[in-house]
């Protein structure tokens, strides 16, 4: 058997200390009721819940309410949210089917076992939602429906210090193996935090460096553009179009050919004189 040790964790404390010493709960007398105007809606079953509460001053308080099955499921859901790590007794899943006397009695036995298991747990006994479930009006009363809505809006508790009870502390049993793992995790967290902070700092610096680098690249682009324009200008200024001489109207061969033609067409002189 593994070695275990008990740790005490601080949590929130109820504003008013609970005066409950013990309680006994009896579920009985299932009744079928109809919903809607003039009872024309669908029918449902309610159960009478009788609570006998013994207080620390030895006085006894009695309460009697009627609750639907869905409200037993509601209080289980609320306790599961309020007390993570605590075993909340199970409750059978109701199926839609025709209700018979046998089914009513069978459900009654399951519900009775459910509330008996809740009544022996001090955290559950002191829970304001459970006390309201046992004391505040019938199912259809506005007072109780307001509490139901508030319970449905509860969020799951993820930190021990957010649990609320009359003692303001939570007991936790941890075995040796789990305790060693917890210590290792604490050491890991402290060491990893150092590297995480450095990475966070360097990441911020990287953003600044990248921003500066982009500005530098943009400036270099401007310089390359200017250099290209200057180089192109000086290159174009050193170039001139070559002078091409105009071709002569007549070449020497053409001139000689024209002379010969003229000579051949001139009529010969007769030598006669007038």
Per DSSP, the residues of 233-272 read HHHHHT--PPPPPPPPSS-HHHHHHHHHHHHHHSPPP---
Same domain for 25 and 156, yes or no, is yes
> In total, how many domains does the chain have?
2
Same domain for 48 and 127, yes or no, is yes
pTM exceeding 0.75: no
Same domain for 34 and 74, yes or no, is yes
7: confidence class by pLDDT, cuts 50, 70, 90: confident
What pLDDT score was predicted for residue 273? 44
Between 188 and 86, residue with greater pLDDT: 188
SS3 of 32, please? strand
What pLDDT score was predicted for residue 16? 66
Same domain for 177 and 161, yes or no, is no
Same domain for 185 and 88, yes or no, is no
Asked which of 226, 243, 261 is the last residue of a domain, the reply is 226
Asked which of 165, 182, 215 is the last residue of a domain, the reply is 165
Same domain for 60 and 114, yes or no, is yes
Whether residue 266 lies inside any domain: the answer is no
Asked which of 145, 165, 185 is the last residue of a domain, the reply is 165
CB atoms within 10 A of CB 176: 11
Q: What is the pLDDT of residues 22-43, one digit of tens each?
A: 999 999 999 888 776 665 667 8
1: confidence class by pLDDT, cuts 50, 70, 90: very low
- β-pairing verdict for 4-10 and 169-175: antiparallel
Whether residue 92 lies inside any domain: the answer is yes
Nearest to 124 by CA among 82, 179, 73: 82
Q: What is the pLDDT of residues 109-137, one digit of tens each?
A: 999 999 999 999 988 988 889 999 999 88
| Range from 49-63, 169-183, 247-261 that averages highest in pLDDT | 49-63
Residue 180 in tokens: 């060693």
Same domain for 3 and 28, yes or no, is no
Same domain for 55 and 142, yes or no, is yes
Between 94 and 114, residue with greater pLDDT: 114
Same domain for 47 and 124, yes or no, is yes
Whether residue 239 lies inside any domain: the answer is no
Same domain for 177 and 213, yes or no, is yes
Same domain for 147 and 202, yes or no, is no
Q: Which residues pair with 5 in a beta bridge?
A: 174
Whether residue 91 lies inside any domain: the answer is yes
Whether residue 25 lies inside any domain: the answer is yes
Domain CATH number, residue 25: 3.30.1520.10
Mean pLDDT on 143-149: 91
Percent of the chain with pLDDT over 90: 33
71: confidence class by pLDDT, cuts 50, 70, 90: very high
Same domain for 42 and 149, yes or no, is yes
144-161 as b/e: b if 16+ CB within 10 A? beebbeebeeeeebeeee
Range of the domain at 59: 18-165
The answer to whether residue 189 scores a pLDDT higher than 60 is: yes
Mean model confidence pLDDT for the chain: 81
């Amino acid at each position: 058997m593994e070695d275990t040790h008990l740790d005490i964790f601080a949590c929130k404390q109820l504003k008013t200390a609970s005066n409950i010493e013990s309680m006994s709960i009896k579920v009985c007398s299932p009744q079928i009721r109809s919903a809607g105007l003039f009872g024309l809606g669908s029918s449902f079953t309610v159960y009478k819940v009788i609570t006998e509460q013994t207080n620390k001053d030895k006085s006894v308080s009695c309460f009697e309410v009627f609750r639907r099955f869905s409200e037993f499921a509601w209080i289980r859901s609320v306790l599961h949210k309020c007390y993570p790590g605590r075993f909340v007794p199970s409750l059978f899943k109701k199926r839609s089917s025709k209700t018979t006397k046998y089914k009513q009695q069978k459900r009654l036995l399951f519900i009775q076992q459910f509330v008996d298991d809740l009544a022996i747990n001090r955290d559950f006994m002191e829970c304001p939602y459970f006390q309201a479930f046992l004391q505040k009006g019938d199912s259809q009363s506005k007072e109780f429906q307001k509490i139901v809505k508030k319970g449905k809006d509860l969020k799951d508790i993820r930190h021990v210090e957010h649990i609320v009870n009359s003692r303001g502390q939570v007991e936790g049993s941890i075995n040796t193996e789990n305790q060693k793992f917890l210590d290792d995790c604490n050491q890991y967290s402290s060491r990893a935090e150092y590297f995480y902070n450095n990475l966070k700092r360097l990441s911020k610096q990287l953003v600044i460096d990248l921003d500066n680098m982009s500005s530098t690249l943009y400036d270099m682009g401007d310089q390359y553009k200017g250099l290209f324009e200057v180089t192109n200008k000086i290159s174009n200024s050193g170039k001139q179009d070559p002078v091409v001489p105009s071709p002569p109207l007549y070449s020497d061969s053409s001139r000689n050919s024209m002379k010969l033609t003229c000579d051949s067409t001139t009529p010969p002189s007769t030598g006669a004189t007038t």
